[in-house]
Amino acid sequence: MSGSIFGNNIKVSTFGESHGVALGCTVDGIPAGLSLSKEDIQAFLDRRKPGFNPLSTPRKEDDEVEILSGIFEGKTTGTPIALIVRNTSQESGDYSEIASYYRPGHADFTFDSKYGFRDYRGGGRSSGRETIGRVAAGAIASKILKSLGVSVEAYTARIGPVKADLSKYNRENVLALPTAMPDKEANDLALDYVAEMRAEYDSVGGVMECRITNLPAGIGEPVFDKLDAKLAGAVMSIGAVKAVEIGDGVMVSERLGSENNDAFEIKEGKISKKTNHSGGILGGISDGSVITVRAHVKPTPSIFKEQHTVNKSGEEIDIKIKGRHDPIIVPRAVVVMESMCALTVLDLMICNMSSTMEGMQNFYKS
């Protein structure tokens, strides 16, 4: 059964392994007439590219994208856009040992259980490099959303104990700082913290958040295809994410109704809310406020400390993982979260175009 395709109206079909020939995706359903260049996609890929950041694995990959189809004279044609990134720096030699045992916190054991064997080189399909396809597609979705006035911005909200101060939110920081934090001060503290843990051969977890602004009210379908349900599924599908919150998230379970309800008001002539505990979603449908999503990311499972595990012969052993690994997943995952949120929102905006007879009649009148 297929598990590598995302979306209903915009369908992203991804492929590729850490040490295979190439990774990428085909994006089907993109409307015709969008100006789209290689640079648009490369800019997103560069945000997750390894080897150029103190928090990233030293594996250097240019991750240069090639567009194979779907663009004509600089514009999308409405047909599938295929995008590939070739692997250039695979060091298969590094990974021969891990073929023999199951790394704690990794998918080695579960892939073997499911498929009978696995491509053990760098985690194969379960590697973080899998997200190249997501991010390449997300770049396109983001560009469409921007042209519709909708903005999707993810950032690092916390690294270990170091929280970003969101009152100092600065988008330039998110794009420029190695932590992808919006706050320079927190970035510096976080870098120190990670360096310290790394020196102890350990790794660090963190939190990333995404804000979707200027989304019209009415996006999301009732019952199963709610905006929050789709966002949760999309974000939880990112490797290492173990919890997803919408709006005030886990805090709501300790609240009273009178504390948690957001009162409606009229602001600048429009219906608005005095607070936004709900994270911009009511009954699974956007209410016109900012959508807020939060994801908790576990520490990188590949650590250099000694760990206990089992090998393929069924013996318990102690191992020390070698190779090239990020000490924290969050900073490079931020653009993945942004991509998944953008794809989700765009898909549901298309769903919404047939919500009313009036909308359909207007569309086909012209």
Q: Give the C-alpha separation, 184 to 336, whole Å.
A: 21
Q: Give the C-alpha separation, 215 to 213, whole Å.
A: 6
- Give the nearest distance from C-beta 209 to a copy of itself in angstroms: 11
- Give the nearest distance from C-beta 288 to a copy of itself in angstroms: 7
- Give the nearest distance from C-beta 65 to a copy of itself in angstroms: 12
Query: How far is residue 327 CA from its own chain's centroid?
Result: 18
**DSSP β-ladder status, 241-246 and 206-213:** unpaired
Whether 141 contacts 10, CB under 8 Å: yes
Question: Which residue's CB is nearer to a copy of itself, number 174 or number 235?
Answer: 235
Burial of 131 (0-12, 13-18, 19+ CB in 10 A): buried
Q: How many CB atoms lie within 10 A of CB 285?
A: 18
- Give the nearest distance from C-beta 333 to a copy of itself in angstroms: 12
The residue with tokens 């804000």 is: 211
Whether 120 contacts 99, CB under 8 Å: yes
Decide: helix, strand or coil at residue 72.
Answer: strand
Question: Which residue's CB is nearer to a copy of itself, number 93 or number 257?
Answer: 257
Question: Which residue's CB is nearer to a copy of itself, number 176 or number 251?
Answer: 251
- Give the nearest distance from C-beta 211 to a copy of itself in angstroms: 16
- Give the nearest distance from C-beta 50 to a copy of itself in angstroms: 18
Question: Which residue's CB is nearer to a copy of itself, number 115 or number 176?
Answer: 115
Amino acid identity, residue 135?
A: V
Question: Which residue's CB is nearer to a copy of itself, number 68 or number 176?
Answer: 68
The residue with tokens 């004509």 is: 72
**DSSP β-ladder status, 151-159 and 206-213:** antiparallel
Whether 70 contacts 340, CB under 8 Å: no
